[in-house]
Amino acid sequence: MVITVFGLGFVGLTTALGFAEYGHEVYGVEINQNRLDTIKSGKLPFLEPGLDEALKRHIDGRFHPISTSELGYAVAQSDCVYYCVGTPYGKDGQADITYLLAAIDQTVESVNDERFRVLVVKSTIPPSTTEQKIIPYLGSKGIIPGEQYGVANNPEFLREGHCWDDFIKADRIVLGVSDNKSEAVIRSIYASQSMPVFCVSLNTGEFIKYLSNTLLATLISYSNEMSVIADTIGGIDIVQAFRILHLDKRWGGCDMASYVYPGCGYGGYCLPKDTNALYSVTKTAGFDAQILKNVIDTNDAMPRYIVDRIQKVIGVSDKSVKIGILGLSFKPGSDDVRDAPSAKIIAKLIESGYNNVLGYDPVANDEFKAHYSLKMSYYTDYAKLLEDADTLVIATAWPEFKDIHQRTDKPVIDCRFML
């Protein structure tokens, strides 16, 4: 089968290489020229263990990274077009589907033949988006889904830092479809694989992705609120309490348990925007979802609470104190800084008058500097930061911070409860 994949970010590059690994011929389209050139040279544009090997295996074979100028040839060959472009925060927390609609435009404008193709959305879009926005959009161009084009979704559940493994060893494949012809085409992509494939309605496919992400966000906000409750009451060892909670054999020990643990609030590209988007789409549909609302509010309140914790340690009067922020990426094992809690904490510290913020991350300094214009100094040497800072704040749970108490006797505020 021949497949075109739009967007070579975390999801798109993994999907394109994963389909190549299954034995399909894959064209990967990317509009960011730097990103495309990096991929063409056989290198990853971000840190993602395992994906580098897959890129080396397929770059001169079944995987063809291309620019939009080569799109016509790629789409003409393709049975399926996958969309893995960003769906960022839009107005009032809604998902912004501008990139998705632009990529759909580029697809339908690139060919002029009678061949049946399936347009598959892998980007995360709120339930009802395909039915209420994408199909009418295609309709406005004279395209009736099910005839020349099929329309479907195939949400992605991978975790950054584990993209390749999560894709190749996916526990389930969800296909949101509305016609048999499209279902047959997408099923054949996965025909050589052993994971179960579930075909559901378009809205159900979209909903399952949000069911998953909002559950994770809820577990995190629950844990964070519990840590604030414990801190407010006092005399409670939060780390010990959560570790003992995890011994419950009904669910302790499973991977999901890692989400039932306090920290700085959830961040990264998905959980913040997806919880907001589901809340927003539901509110527009007439229901004000209270659990989701509180999950979001709890998360939004975390940076303020953490800055209060820092101020309790350093005192509010001396604003020139040097505060060392350890970890800038949104989670360890990744250089992704999108919606990183560290950025919100630093912004709040600066807003509160602290003008000596020092930051260190083992891999994400450059990304962070490029993404945020925060007035702070960057350190590439962890030992030097320990030497220069007066107070240390662990904002990302990188394993190298584990022995910090053996390396310094300065105050450490462990916002990840990792020590």
Ligand X SMILES: NC(=O)c1ccc[n+]([C@@H]2O[C@H](COP(=O)([O-])OP(=O)(O)OC[C@H]3O[C@@H](n4cnc5c(N)ncnc54)[C@H](O)[C@@H]3O)[C@@H](O)[C@H]2O)c1
Of 6-14, 248-256, 315-323, 389-397, which part binds ligand X (CB under 6 A)? Answer: 6-14
Q: Which is nearer to ligand X, 108 or 310 (CB)?
A: 108
Is 163 catalytic? The answer is: no
Candidates 16, 81, 84, 174: give the one binding ligand X (CB under 6 A): 84
Under rule CB under 6 A, residue 11 binds ligand X: yes
Q: Which x/- pattern, by CB under 6 A, does the window 118-157 give for ligand X?
A: -----xx-------------------------------x-
Of 85-93, 181-189, 380-388, 410-418, which part binds ligand X (CB under 6 A)? Answer: 85-93
Min dist CB 245 to ligand X, Å, is 27
Min dist CB 200 to ligand X, Å, is 17
On the CB side of 250, how many CA atoms lie within 13 Å of its CA?
1
Residue of 80, 84, 163, 270 marked catalytic: 270
Min dist CB 61 to ligand X, Å, is 21
Nearest-angstrom CA–CA distance, 396 and 404 = 13
Min dist CB 275 to ligand X, Å, is 12
Task: Give the pair of three-digit tokens for residue 2.
Answer: 């021949």
CA dihedral 337, 341, 342, 345 (to 10 degrees): 140
Closest CA to 323 of 263, 265, 267, 374: 374
Min dist CB 194 to ligand X, Å, is 22
Under rule CB under 6 A, residue 335 binds ligand X: no
Closest CA to 364 of 396, 317, 393: 396
Query: What is the radius of gyration, based on Cα positions, of the chain?
Result: 23
Min dist CB 215 to ligand X, Å, is 14
Asked if 6 and 82 touch (Cβ cutoff 8 Å), the reply is yes
Min dist CB 99 to ligand X, Å, is 4
Closest CA to 182 of 157, 208, 145, 127: 145
Q: Which is nearer to ligand X, 87 or 182 (CB)?
A: 87
Q: Which is nearer to ligand X, 215 or 316 (CB)?
A: 215
Under rule CB under 6 A, residue 9 binds ligand X: yes
Candidates 10, 207, 305, 379: give the one binding ligand X (CB under 6 A): 10
Cα–Cα separations (whole angstroms), residue 67 to 28, 36, 62, 106, 112: 8, 7, 16, 12, 19
Alpha helices in 84-201 (DSSP H): 98-110, 129, 135-140, 163-168, 180-189
Q: Which is nearer to ligand X, 29 or 345 (CB)?
A: 29
Asked if 258 and 416 touch (Cβ cutoff 8 Å), the reply is no
Q: Which is nearer to ligand X, 21 or 414 (CB)?
A: 21
Min dist CB 304 to ligand X, Å, is 26
Q: Residue of minimal CB distance from ligand X?
A: 9
Under rule CB under 6 A, residue 106 binds ligand X: yes
Q: Which is nearer to ligand X, 33 or 320 (CB)?
A: 33
Nearest-angstrom CA–CA distance, 124 and 408 = 43
Torsional sign, CA 204, 205, 207, 209: positive
Under rule CB under 6 A, residue 166 binds ligand X: no
Which residues, 235 to 274, sit near ligand X by CB under 6 A? 269-270
Amino acid 14 reads T
Q: Which is nearer to ligand X, 271 or 393 (CB)?
A: 271
End-to-end alpha-carbon separation of the chain, Å?
A: 50
Asked if 355 and 374 touch (Cβ cutoff 8 Å), the reply is no
Nearest-angstrom CA–CA distance, 357 and 31 = 35
Q: DSSP assignment, residue 133?
A: I
Number of residues lying near ligand X (CB under 6 A): 28
In sequence order, the 6+-apart residues with CB closer than 8 A to the CB of 181 are: 116, 118, 146, 150
Q: Which is nearer to ligand X, 87 or 130 (CB)?
A: 87
Which residues, 57 to 76, sit near ligand X by CB under 6 A? 68
Q: Which stretches of the chain bind ligand X, using CB under 6 A?
A: 6-12, 29-32, 35, 68, 84-87, 99, 102-103, 106, 123-124, 156, 158, 160, 269-270
Catalytic residues: 270
